[in-house]
């Protein structure tokens, strides 16, 4: 019965995506002004919302990791003892290579004595009352992207982000979330030890592909999308209390040896108790081009903010463009507005990365762009949740 039910669900998903795509993207039904604020359509979407009542949100439980052999993270205050410092100094680092640098410190590639590679993020403790320093970053291109409306931050708040990341990520166990392997605290700085991700960030990869230095085919891009949404599903639906990342973007999506994707940098992530539908922040934080409009306008957030950011990531995967591209900085269009305009035009395939045209997957890529449109609706009630997104992406055949 389960198999039959799943088959019906998959067929329903195809129909839903097809019908909703026509509703939103057919120029005969809507003008651009309606797309920017599709209140009427969102009511239809909510009334006929993706009917996954019988879908188990933990259906991708195979992605959950058993506690790894790497050291588990103990409570924050216990990370400062001399034994752990000596262990890192004695066992961990035989050579260092800087792979990222910014106002907050450097990111090093190091080798354990067994030859395995790790990444060590050095976070310099700021002078109290000084300018805000970037807490979380992984590669050179992302050093200056994290921002806050208040560009100065006290020492306590700054190190509170470090403490939050250590305590939060140390408990998460999923193959698509970058695990924290260890932490060392010194008077002048902190060191966070993570897996080394050989292929860098998704942002760097997209930029190198655009420059013609690397290849990134559609099957690999589709897998990255599935990996990221699987990590989000774990955070939003399979972990208690649920976790909202609040800074999901290509720079914080790292790629391993086999191009598997892992979500990184939980410096501004927040937890939401099961008793609450949303939380309110005292300060807006995130990255321009990825922040959900309701968070920007009201300072209230929940997992739908991550879904909005994920929609932007999907748009980047298919178009090959980033919100920070010079074209969008010089024009009146954002990446999303440009994508919506092209999608309702005569030739939606113009939204696809030119390097992927002619590969035979154009229809699949357009389908992913339609999912991106749903994820980035102004009204968060009209957006699919992470389980919906994973099911739709998984159903796209190649």
Q: Which helix (H) or strand (E) holds 101?
A: strand 96-102
Please answer whether residues 236 and 243 qualify as being in contact, where contact means their C-beta atoms are separated by less than 8 angstroms: yes
DSSP notation for 271-286: EE-TT-S-EE-SS-EE
User: Could you tell me which residues come within 8 angstroms of residue 103 by beta carbon, excluding any fewer than 6 positions away?
Assistant: 131, 133, 134, 143
User: Residues marked as binding for ATP?
Assistant: 122
DSSP notation for 228-240: HHHHHHHHHHSSS
The active-site residue, picked from 190, 227, 247, 388, is 247
Cis peptide leading into 57, omega within 30 of 0? no
User: Could you tell me which residues come within 8 angstroms of residue 303 by beta carbon, excluding any fewer than 6 positions away?
Assistant: 232, 235, 236, 242, 244, 272, 385, 386
Does residue 156 have an active-site annotation?
A: no
The residues that bridge with 191 in the sheet, in sequence order, are: 122, 184
Of 280, 276, 273, which Cα lies nearest the Cα of 299?
280
User: Residues marked as binding?
Assistant: 122
Residues listed for the chain: 398
Q: What is the CA radius of gyration of the chain?
A: 21
* Nearest-angstrom CA–CA distance, 166 and 298: 28
Structure tokens at 201: 């960030």
Task: List active site positions.
Answer: 247
């Amino acid at each position: 019965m389960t198999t039959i039910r799943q088959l019906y669900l998959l067929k329903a998903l195809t129909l839903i995506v097809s019908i909703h795509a026509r509703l939103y993207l057919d120029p005969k039904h809507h003008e651009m002004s309606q797309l920017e604020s599709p209140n009427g359509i969102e009511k239809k979407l909510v009334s006929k919302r993706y009917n996954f009542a019988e879908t188990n949100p933990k259906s991708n439980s195979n992605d959950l990791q058993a506690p790894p052999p790497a050291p588990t993270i103990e409570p924050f205050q216990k990370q400062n003892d001399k034994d752990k410092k000596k262990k890192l100094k004695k066992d961990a680092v035989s050579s260092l290579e800087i792979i990222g640098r910014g106002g907050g410190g450097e990111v090093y590639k190091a080798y354990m004595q067994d030859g395995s590679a790790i990444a060590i993020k050095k976070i310099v403790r700021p002078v109290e009352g000084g300018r805000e320093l970037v807490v979380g970053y992984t590669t050179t291109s992302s050093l200056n992207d994290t921002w806050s409306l208040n560009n100065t931050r006290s020492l306590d708040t700054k190190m509170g982000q470090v403490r939050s990341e250590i305590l939060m990520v140390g408990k998460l166990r999923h193959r698509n979330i970058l695990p924290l392997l260890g932490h060392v605290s010194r008077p002048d700085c902190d060191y966070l030890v993570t897996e080394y991700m050989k292929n860098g960030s998704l942002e760097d990869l997209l930029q190198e592909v655009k420059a013609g230095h690397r290849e990134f085919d559609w099957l690999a891009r589709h897998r990255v999308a599935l990996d990221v949404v699987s990590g989000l599903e774990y955070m939003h639906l399979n972990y208690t209390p649920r976790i909202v990342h609040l800074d999901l973007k290509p720079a914080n999506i790292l790629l391993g040896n086999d191009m598997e994707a892992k979500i990184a940098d939980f410096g501004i992530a927040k937890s939401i108790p099961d008793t609450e539908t949303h939380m309110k922040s005292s300060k807006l934080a995130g990255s321009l081009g990825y922040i959900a409009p309701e968070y920007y306008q009201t300072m209230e957030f929940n997992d739908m903010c991550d879904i909005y950011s994920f929609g932007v990531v999907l748009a980047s995967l298919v178009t090959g463009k980033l919100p920070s591209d010079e074209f969008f900085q010089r024009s009146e269009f954002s990446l999303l507005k440009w994508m919506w305009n092209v999608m309702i035009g005569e030739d939606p395939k113009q939204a696809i990365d030119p390097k992927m045209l002619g590969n035979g997957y154009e229809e699949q890529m357009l389908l992913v762009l339609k999912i991106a449109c749903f994820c980035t609706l102004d009204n968060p009630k009209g957006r699919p949740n992470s389980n919906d997104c994973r099911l739709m992406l998984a159903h796209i055949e190649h």
